[in-house]
Every structure is written in structure tokens, then in C-alpha cells.
Amino acid sequence: MNVVNLILAIFFSMLSIGFFFWMKEILKKSGYKVSGFVSPADYVRMFDLVSGTEDRSKKRKYVTLLLASIASPVLMFVFFITGAESVDEWQCRRYNDYLAHSVQGVVVEKYIDQPNHALKTLTINVNGSTFKETELTLAIPELFDFVEKGDTIFKEAESPYVLVKGTNGETQFSDLDNPCNISKDKL
């Protein structure tokens, strides 16, 4: 999500809550019965209050508050939706993460991490340190089924190719199905 849109969505959501409570207080002070947290009836009561007010400055204040309390949730929704990442953008970001990723190590364990969305996970040992690898198995699902404990995995940054050396010989995998419109001859 676009950070600016997220900040604006949060700002307008806070603003709409503030306007709504301010509107409820004005309705209470004017003798109207107000309902629970959010109710369309309160907007109708506010419209009645605006219609029945003779004082021009109060009327202008009430109209502004009524319009602001309606517009701010709409703007919150607009900024939230327009800032959301599209599926194409998400796929392109995932592919770029995969391309930037580099690995050179020995598989010490492989498992499906059920609590973590059933991610196919490889535990890889690199110079005595182990880490959990999910980036490669997300990009190349068949890699998880192929690789065995003790196999060595090589993947250079900016390369779509993964080389596995081990019990099944030497095999190269690749993710050339890029969603970012990068020509395959540049890879």
C-alpha cells in the first residue's frame, strides 16, 4: 500500500470519528436523542437541526459539520482503496524480491510450516548459521518437492536461476514467468 494513501486514510478515519462525536454532542445540546456509535438516524436528526436553525452562523457551522462528517469517511475509503496494491503490482514486487534474493547453503531440514500459512520452508545452513528459506519455495514450488536434506542450493542475486547439487545430481530451476514485463533475454 502506498504510504501516503495509508496516512491519509488514517487521518480521514480519525477526522470522521471526531466529526461524528462532535455532531452527536451538538445534537444532545440541542435536545435531540442520539443513538449508539454510528447511526443514519443521527444524520437525519442533524439535517433536521440544520433545517430548523434560524441563526445563519450556527446554520453554516452545522452544515459544514454535517458535510464534513459525510465526506471524511468517503475520503478515507477512497484513499484506502486507491492506495491498495493491485495483484499485478504485488506479483511484480514478489518477483523482484525473488530476483534480489541470494542463497548459497546446505539444506538441513524441510517442512511445511502449518502455523505460518502452510509455507513450504527449507532450513538452510550457511557457514554454521541456519535460516528459514521461503522465498525460493514460493517462487518455484517444485523446488520443495525436489530438494533433499544435504543438498546444496545456489542462487545469485538478480538471477532467476536456482542450482541444486545433491543426491539427485545437479539440477537447475528457474522462475522466468516474470509479471513485471522484463524481457527474458535481459535475465
Q: Rg for the chain (alpha carbons), in Å? A: 28
Q: What is the pLDDT of residue 105?
A: 95
Read out DSSP for 101-162? --EEEEEEEEEEEGGGTTEEEEEEEETTEEEEE-HHHHH-HHHHHH--TT-EEEE-TT--EE
Q: What are phi and psi of 35, to 5 degrees?
A: -95, -160
Segment 111-126 shows an average pLDDT of 92
The yes-or-no verdict on residue 64 having pLDDT over 80 is yes
pLDDT band at 186 (very low <50, low <70, confident <90, very high): very low
C-beta separation of 184 from 143 below 8 A = no
Query: Could you tell me the pTM of the whole model?
Result: 0.56
pLDDT on residue 1: 59
Tell me, what's the pLDDT at 145? Answer: 92
Residue type for position 164:
V
User: What are the structural domain ranges in the chain?
Assistant: 3-83, 89-186
d(CA 107, CA 151): 6
Q: What is the pLDDT of residue 181?
A: 64
